[in-house]
Structure 1
């Protein structure tokens, strides 16, 4: 089994650009209604326009805020490069790079264009990450 998360977004192309920049992902579909994002040829997430029904009906309720109580979590072998990409793109940082004492890895918490919490985390037991100002 492989996870293939799909989140509802207000602007698929804007969110695609954000995730591609921050995750170093590639578009595998493209378009204003649906997107598949891949890293090294592996599907890591899908984006779907909130108010487009397709064959399955509405994906989410436009009356409710997006991203509330939900985190999209990514483990990376190079947290330093991921942090540089996020900062370079101007991503909103909710919690800067820190050591998660429970997981024993470093992570940064970001907000995507729709307010989803996006966590980028180093591999468990990764060497100390130097916080860069």
Structure 2
């Protein structure tokens, strides 16, 4: 099987790592390095990789000065604990970027938040209503 590993550049890997673990209800752990961490599901599936800005010579991770972080990117997570994810999100952010609403295309509830680096994060219920 082939899998896509989404990697986003962040200012502080440890801070973002803890933020996403909390949002997604993952058990607390530490990233492997101060410049890179992989958030994984219970079955070992990589959900998201976090890479510190300017840590290596990756051209698109060189500096946030070239574009606003998150421009053209939507991080979209389907969760099986939507109500709990919403409560976790409300404890982490001052305000939701998008209030919970039914997506008529998928028939699922969704809400959105901004992460500590400004990325737009959509949380969607696993099952349709």
Structure 1 length-normalised TM: 0.83
The change in CA–CA distance for 1:115 and 1:28 in structure 2 (over 3 A counts) is same
Q: In the alignment, what sits opposite 1:78? A: 81
> Which structure shows the higher helix fraction?
2
* 2:51 counterpart of 1:42: no
Q: In the alignment, what sits opposite 1:13? A: 14
Preserved contact between residue 17 and residue 30 of structure 2 (Cα < 8 Å): no
CA-based RMSD of the aligned residues comes to 1.8
> Which structure shows the higher strand fraction?
1
* 1:85 to partner: Cα distance: 1.0
Partner Cα distance (2:81, 2:60) in 1: 33
The unaligned stretches of length 5 or more in structure 2 are none
1:1-133 map, 5 Å: 1-26=2-27, 27=29, 29-40=31-42, 41-53=44-56, 56-62=57-63, 63-64=65-66, 65-90=68-93, 92-125=95-128, 127=129
Preserved contact between residue 28 and residue 37 of structure 1 (Cα < 8 Å): no
The unaligned stretches of length 5 or more in structure 1 are 128-133
